[in-house]
């Protein structure tokens, strides 16, 4: 009984902090990262599905296309062949919120492990390019942050929301060099678990 009360209290605290972050962005004139409206998934990916091309601006305003990391066979004798790289995409609710900061820091602290596996790592949220640039610098993040400001990519992938649609889902994908999904991991309240899951799938 006491354990359930403590767990409920902790979940309420996390939710409150996330909502306060949305309010903070709203008063600052920044588009909030969490919508109060439910969304209908346009497409739900599964393991083995081809990842649709995602092209979003990074914290410097430069467009990054995820399909550019896919391997290519090339022509006769292998001419024009390109060696691809696996890609890790972690979708999070918004920069600077407590749980998302914890997750990004965990990816940062273990970034060399992703490099050793030849993987490219990207964090994606609905924050603006300008907001992500400041946050990346403040947290010394060695990987790119991509801005899905209107949430269209998140919605097209069918990432489910949490807490009755009040929180954007926390979901991580591992994409192979063939452009197909190797892993989908979702856990809102275990942000650091995403790192272990992604590394195990590479």
* pLDDT tens, position by position, 31-55: 333 222 223 333 568 999 999 999 9
**Six token digits for residue 155:** 């919605």
pLDDT digits (tens, 9 = 90+) for 112-147: 999 999 999 999 999 999 999 999 999 999 999 999
Contact 177, 82 (CB under 8 A): no
Residue 154 and residue 123 in contact, taking contact as beta carbons nearer than 8 Å: no
Is the pLDDT higher at 3 or at 65?
A: 65
What is the Cα–Cα distance from 170 to 38, expressed in whole angstroms? 15
Closest CA to 155 of 63, 64, 91, 61: 91
Determine the pLDDT at residue 82.
79
Give dist(CA 199, CA 88) in Å, integer.
9
CA-closest candidate to residue 16, choices 141, 138, 167: 167
pLDDT greater than 60 at residue 202 = yes
DSSP state of 54: -
Does the pLDDT at position 181 exceed 80?
yes
Contact 55, 64 (CB under 8 A): yes
Q: Which domains does the chain have, with CATH numbers?
A: 2-201 (3.40.30.10)
Residue with tokens 């996330």: 18
What pLDDT, on a 0 to 100 scale, did the predictor assign at position 76? 66
Backbone angles phi, psi at 184, to 5 degrees: -130, 120
Selected residue with higher pLDDT from 3 and 158: 158
C-alpha span between 200 and 29 (Å, rounded): 40
Mean pLDDT of 155-175: 92
Question: Can you give the pLDDT at residue 40?
Answer: 32
What the block records as the tokens of 8 is 């409920």
pLDDT level of residue 184 (50, 70, 90 thresholds): very high
Tokens 């919508």 label which residue?
35
Contact 120, 88 (CB under 8 A): yes
Q: How far apart are CA 196 and CA 90, in angstroms?
A: 12
Residues taking part in catalysis: 100
Query: In this predicted model, which residue has the larger pLDDT, 132 or 28?
Result: 132
How high does pLDDT run on average in the chain? 82
Compare 18 and 86 and report the one with higher pLDDT: 86
**Comparison of pLDDT for 63 and 38, the residue scoring more:** 63
Q: What is the pLDDT of residues 66-121, one digit of tens each?
A: 999 999 876 565 566 778 999 999 999 987 889 999 999 999 999 999 999 999 99
- Bigger pLDDT: 42 or 162? 162
Contact 94, 127 (CB under 8 A): yes
């Amino acid at each position: 009984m006491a354990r359930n009360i403590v767990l409920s209290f902790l979940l309420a605290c996390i939710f409150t902090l996330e909502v306060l972050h949305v309010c903070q962005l709203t008063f600052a004139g920044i588009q909030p990262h969490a919508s109060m409206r439910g969304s209908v998934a346009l497409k739900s990916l599964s393991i083995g599905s081809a990842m649709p091309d995602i092209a979003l601006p990074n914290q410097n305003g430069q467009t990054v296309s995820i399909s550019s990391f896919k391997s290519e066979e090339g022509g006769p004798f292998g001419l024009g062949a390109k060696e691809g790289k696996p890609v890790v995409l972690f979708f999070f609710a918004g920069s600077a919120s407590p749980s998302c900061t914890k997750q990004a820091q965990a990816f940062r602290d273990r970034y060399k492990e992703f490099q050793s596996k030849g993987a490219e790592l990207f964090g994606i949220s609905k924050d603006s390019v300008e907001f992500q640039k400041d946050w990346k610098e403040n947290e010394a993040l060695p990987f790119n942050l991509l801005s899905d400001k209107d949430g269209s990519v998140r919605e097209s992938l069918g990432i489910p929301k949490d807490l009755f649609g009040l929180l954007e889902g926390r979901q991580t994908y591992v994409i192979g060099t063939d452009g197909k999904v190797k892993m989908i991991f979702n856990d809102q309240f275990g942000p650091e678990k995403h790192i272990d899951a992604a590394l195990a799938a590479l």
